[in-house]
Amino acid sequence: MPILETIGLEKLFGGIVAAHDVSLAIEKGARHALIGPNGAGKTTVINLLTGVLRPTAGRIMLEGRDITDTAPHERVQLGMTRTFQINQLFLDLTPLETIGLAVSERLGLGGDWWRLVGSKAAVTDEIVEIVERFRLADVMHERTATLPYGKQRLLEIALAFACRPRVLLLDEPAAGVPEAERHELLATIEALPAEVTVLLIEHDMDLVFSFADRISVLVNGSLFVDGAPEDVARDPRVKAVYLGEELDA
Amino acid sequence: MTPATAPLAADVSRYLARRARWSPLEIGFWIFAFATIWLFPGKYLILKDTAILALFALSLDLIVGYAGIISLGQAAFFGLAGYFSGLIAKYGIVDEPVIALILSGFAAAALGFVTSFLVLRGSDLTRLMVTLGVSLMLGEIANRYSDLTGGADGLQGVTIAPVLGRFRFDLYGHNGYVYCLIVLFVCFLLARRIVYSPFGLSLRAVKENALRASAIGIPVKWRLVAIYTVSAGFAGIAGALLTQTTAFCSLDVFSLERSADLLLVLIIGGTGYLYGGLIGAVIYKLLQDWIADLTPQYWQFWIGLVLVAIVLVGRERIGGGNAALRAFIVRLGGRLLGRRAVPAPDRQ
């Protein structure tokens, strides 16, 4: 059984079809990439998966459970989180506070108004682990707004990871990261634990082909091709529609 | 945990523990606050009013400064609890003031809970209008049921029993002030606890970026409902204190002026660090007292001028970054000066 599955997902904005009959199956532990030209509906699919948008038709199943009508924050509690193409961070908080917040929330302490943040050892331990994993230790006391962009991008993923997802949706994680800070980011993504299923939405073909073990191509809101990277790279229709010169070179 | 991460872990715990530590400045603030009991024995009335205003402003800071909900109707909770405490004392339902105070707080919190659903959605402007509307409606209801509330004459014949059965509200206002100050301090401790908790941190996250907050599993709606309810409870306690210490309650507890003055107090003191409401209340009352001595008729002109000056000069520092509140005040200031409003720069 796929860990995340969509069945005939459909989204209309007025008369415009943003997603049409999208049936994706993402296997447990997969490194799955969703690619497509601009305006293909990639972000719409992410928004449908996370519950920001309601589908016009179709179902979404997470670990065999129908989550089509589940609220966004409940999907997080069920084990699926996302990052954003454009950073959505808490600029006035420090990375430490940000991660402490997410960890507290995941451990069910978010409604706790009496204890101090981090007064439980479990919270501190997890903060340390995440700060290490995402190489944020040296900047963890600084205001997020003042961090270099690459670090903010790492925090963007760290924050999603702090929710301990079983499915992690990465929306163009490398977008806009300067070359000098890129390596650190990619290494961190490579090092994500194998048991976490990753759905990667990306423009950067180098990243897609080095990282993904399965690729789905979205064109005009519909799934076009779905298969192993070699097959997708060979597929003449994909070359024609999307990849073009990029792969031939 | 591996030995390599042990120093990091210690650093993390130390930092988290330090976040909520009392600074010497804070301790000094409260020592001075309690010292006023002996320092200014002739000023109990204004001190008492200041303490009540400070608690009222603290309640507003909880939603404006920590949750980003701007309100022009905090008087609804103040007024409801004011009448509630007056009525239960008048009809002898609950005699002991402390218990009556807590009950009044809960009554206001219940109203806060019910009306919180109205402020969940919409822009700052909608929230201003909705909160204002609720307090105006309650004021009119109190006016309509004058058999119970005394209508325009106010609620007469309230007698307040001694606090804890021992401390009678005396003519000089000594016990009344001490009572208000202690209640303010207890409420402050509670508020301080709340803002440094995981719940309080999640509120700041919601205020900064509600989209991301829900994307990390925070039930945004319920957090806002919760803090709005708590804030209403605090405002209610302030209202009940006023009724208890004056043995009187009138329709002006619901007035727009009361809510608007409260926003001024918070602007003067600054939002989002808990002391803003307290410091703002002290400055506001001092100004009011001092200017009223100079020009009894036109004191509000000077308050207005001070306000405009504060907003224009210190716009960046005031408000702890609440762009909406700032923009609102700047617009207000612009109107007072008869000029075109100066748009506040967006926060970035």
pLDDT of residue A4: 95
CA distance B23 to B28: 9
pLDDT of residue B9: 84
pLDDT of residue A242: 63
The better pLDDT of the pair B104, A122 is held by B104
Contact status, residue B231 vs residue B64, Cβ threshold 8 Å: no
pLDDT grade for A114, boundaries at 50, 70 and 90: confident
Q: What is the pLDDT of residues B241-278, one digit of tens each?
A: 999 999 999 999 999 989 989 998 998 888 888 999 99
- Segment 110-129 of chain A within 8 Å of chain B by CB: 110-119, 124-125, 127-129
Number of domains in chain B: 1
Instruction: Give 3-state DSSP helix, strand, coil % of chain A, rounded to 5.
Output: 40, 25, 40
Q: What is the pLDDT of residues B211-221, one digit of tens each?
A: 999 999 899 99
Q: Region A159-166: what's the mean pLDDT?
A: 94
Answer whether residue B333 shows pLDDT above 60. no
Percent of chain A with pLDDT over 70: 97
pLDDT grade for B342, boundaries at 50, 70 and 90: very low
Answer whether residue A248 shows pLDDT above 70. no
pLDDT of residue B336: 52
Query: Cα–Cα–Cα angle for B246, B250, B256, nearest 5°?
Result: 115
Q: What is the pLDDT of residues A74-109, one digit of tens each?
A: 999 999 999 999 999 999 999 999 999 999 988 888
Is the residue at B16 inside a domain?
Answer: no
Which residue(s) pair with A31 in the sheet?
Answer: A198
Helix (H) or strand (E) holding A7: strand A4-13
Contact status, residue B223 vs residue B195, Cβ threshold 8 Å: no
Identify the three-state secondary structure at position A66. Answer: strand
Q: Region A136-164: what's the mean pLDDT?
A: 93
Give the ipTM of the model, two decimals please: 0.86
CA distance B75 to B56: 9
C-alpha distances out from residue B269 to B74, B184, B275, B283, Å: 17, 17, 7, 8
Kindly report the average pLDDT of chain A as a whole number.
89
C-alpha distances out from residue B81 to A172, B110, B234, Å: 52, 11, 10
pLDDT of residue A70: 92
Is the residue at B226 inside a domain?
Answer: yes
pLDDT of residue A245: 46
CA distance B287 to B300: 10
CA distance B166 to B178: 13
Please list every residue in chain B whose beta carbon sits closer than 8 Å to the beta carbon of residue A167.
none
Q: Region A118-136: what's the mean pLDDT?
A: 88
| Structural domain that includes position B210 | 40-255
Q: Region A127-139: what's the mean pLDDT?
A: 92
Q: Region A122-150: what's the mean pLDDT?
A: 91
Q: Region A129-134: what's the mean pLDDT?
A: 92
A82, A92, A132: residue with CB nearest B215: A82
Kindly report the average pLDDT of chain B as a whole number.
86
Angle, in degrees to the nearest 10, between helices B299-313 and B256-269:
40
Give the β-pairing of A214-219 and A222-227: antiparallel
pLDDT grade for A40, boundaries at 50, 70 and 90: confident
Answer whether residue B58 shows pLDDT above 90. yes
Residues whose CB falls within 8 Å of the CB of residue A107, separated by 6 or more in sequence, listed in order: A120, A122, A123, A126
Q: Region B98-108: what's the mean pLDDT?
A: 96
Percent of chain B with pLDDT over 70: 88
Testing the interface with A: which of B18, B189, B193, B212 to mutate, by most A Cβ within 10 A? Answer: B212
Predicted TM-score (pTM) of this structure: 0.86
Answer whether residue A59 shows pLDDT above 70. yes
pLDDT grade for A129, boundaries at 50, 70 and 90: very high
Q: What is the pLDDT of residues B61-76, one digit of tens each?
A: 999 999 999 999 999 9
φ, ψ of residue A25 in degrees (nearest 5): -130, 120
Q: What is the pLDDT of residues B153-203, one digit of tens each?
A: 899 888 888 888 888 888 788 999 999 999 999 999 999 999 999 999 999
Q: Region B307-312: what's the mean pLDDT?
A: 77
Distance from CA of A46 to the nearest CA of B (A): 12
Please choose, from the candidates B141, B115, B11, B7, the residue with its C-alpha nearest in 3D space to the C-alpha of residue B63: B115
Answer whether residue B47 shows pLDDT above 90. yes
Q: How many Cβ atoms from other residues are within 10 Å of residue B193's Cβ?
A: 16
Q: Region B323-339: what's the mean pLDDT?
A: 54
Q: What is the pLDDT of residues B126-155, one digit of tens each?
A: 999 999 999 999 999 999 999 899 888 899
Distance from CA of B55 to the nearest CA of A (A): 19
Answer whether residue B326 shows pLDDT above 70. no
Chain B residues whose C-beta sits inside 8 Å of any chain A C-beta: 1, 5, 8-9, 12-13, 15-17, 19-20, 193-194, 196-202, 204-205, 208-209, 211-212, 214-220, 223, 226, 321
The better pLDDT of the pair B26, B165 is held by B26
Answer whether residue A206 shows pLDDT above 60. yes
Percent of chain B with pLDDT over 90: 57
Answer whether residue B78 shows pLDDT above 60. yes
Residue A245's Cβ-side half-sphere holds a number of Cα atoms within 13 Å equal to 0
Q: How many Cβ atoms from other residues are within 10 Å of residue B84's Cβ?
A: 23
Contact status, residue B254 vs residue B142, Cβ threshold 8 Å: yes
Are B215 and A132 inside 8 Å of each other by CB? no
Q: Region B20-24: what's the mean pLDDT?
A: 88
CA distance B190 to B230: 10
Which domains occur in chain A, in start order? 4-243 (3.40.50.300)
Answer whether residue B339 shows pLDDT above 90. no
pLDDT grade for A202, boundaries at 50, 70 and 90: confident
Chain A: residue nearest B21 by CA?
A116
